Amino acid sequence: MRQPSLRVSHFWPGRRPGQERRNRDATAGPSRDHHRGRTRNRGGRGAGHRRARGSVVLGDLLEAEGEAVAAAIRAAGGQAVFVRTDISKAADCARLAAAAVERFGKLDALICCAAILQGATLQAEALDEAVFDRVLSINLKGTFLTVKAALPHLRRADKGVILLMGSEAGTKIPSSSLAYGSSKGGVHGLAMTLEGQLAPHGIRVNDVCPSSIATPMRIENLVDRARAAGKDPEAARAQAIQDAGDPTGVANILAFLASPEADYVRGTIFTR
């Protein structure tokens, strides 16, 4: 069995297992492939950290939550390192990838889950240019910079894996935010283009597009939309928690896709 590695900003190192709201990723692998390493950008709040196991490097701006996730992975028997990372900065992404390789010796898988959602419900003429730039800087440019930093290491892996977190919004349905929808549409296009470029080099790229998942970012988005519509925000919060999908379901999909068992999976995966 090949020895896996790690990913950055969603990096899997050494081994790969079988106000501004941020949905971060964490990197970890399924128990069936516990020997592999990976890296993830952002790991404290979203779906990624729910299945983090094995050898993982996590990147996020939120240090307390990132360190807590890394500690939880170690307590469960895995290996995890947290690196404070701003994925809109190329130097931070490079440092994250380097940390994965330095700690675990290689990089097998990268999961890019970091995102923010701002400007919900605003028409184009009311959306500030700075907000639009900020969202694309994190969601789209940050994904590109993370992939760029990880690629030299993934090219040396045995069948490296890149998983980009897209969204149903911006690919199949409109988003409540022009900036967010544009950024996720861009991530979708980035994944398709990377897939064509990297397949000849043995690197698999998948674009994972969840629907309504009960992450803090999604719940607060629904609360904001209710408030803007003059509805009870707390009632909207309760309804969102009841109706939205469990982030663990998406984490299970990410864990599978990062494993060798997913070698025949191609393209975009839409989840609940």
d(CA 157, CA 6): 9
Sign of CA dihedral 35, 38, 42, 45: negative
Question: H helices within 24-174, ranges in order?
Answer: 63-75, 90-104, 129-136, 142-154
Tell me whether strands 115-116 and 22-23 are parallel, antiparallel or unpaired.
antiparallel
pTM above 0.85, yes or no: no
User: Do 143 and 166 form a contact (C-beta atoms < 8 A)?
Assistant: no
d(CA 24, CA 131): 19
pLDDT attached to residue 65: 93
Residue (of 71, 90, 63) closest to 8 by Cα position = 90
Domains parsed from the chain with CATH numbers: 10-270 (3.40.50.720)
d(CA 28, CA 54): 6
Residues annotated as catalytic (active site), given as ranges: 180
d(CA 170, CA 19): 23
Partnered with residue 120 across adjacent β-strands are none
Written as one letter, the residue type at 129 is E
On the 0-12 / 13-18 / 19+ scale of CB atoms within 10 A, 229 is exposed
pLDDT attached to residue 33: 35
Per-residue pLDDT of the chain (272 residues; tens, 9 = 90+): 333 332 333 344 443 443 333 444 333 333 333 334 566 665 444 444 444 457 999 999 999 999 999 999 999 999 999 999 999 999 999 999 999 999 999 999 999 999 999 999 999 999 999 999 999 999 999 999 999 999 999 999 989 999 999 999 999 999 999 999 999 999 999 999 999 999 999 999 999 999 888 888 888 888 888 888 899 989 988 888 888 889 999 999 999 999 999 999 999 999 98
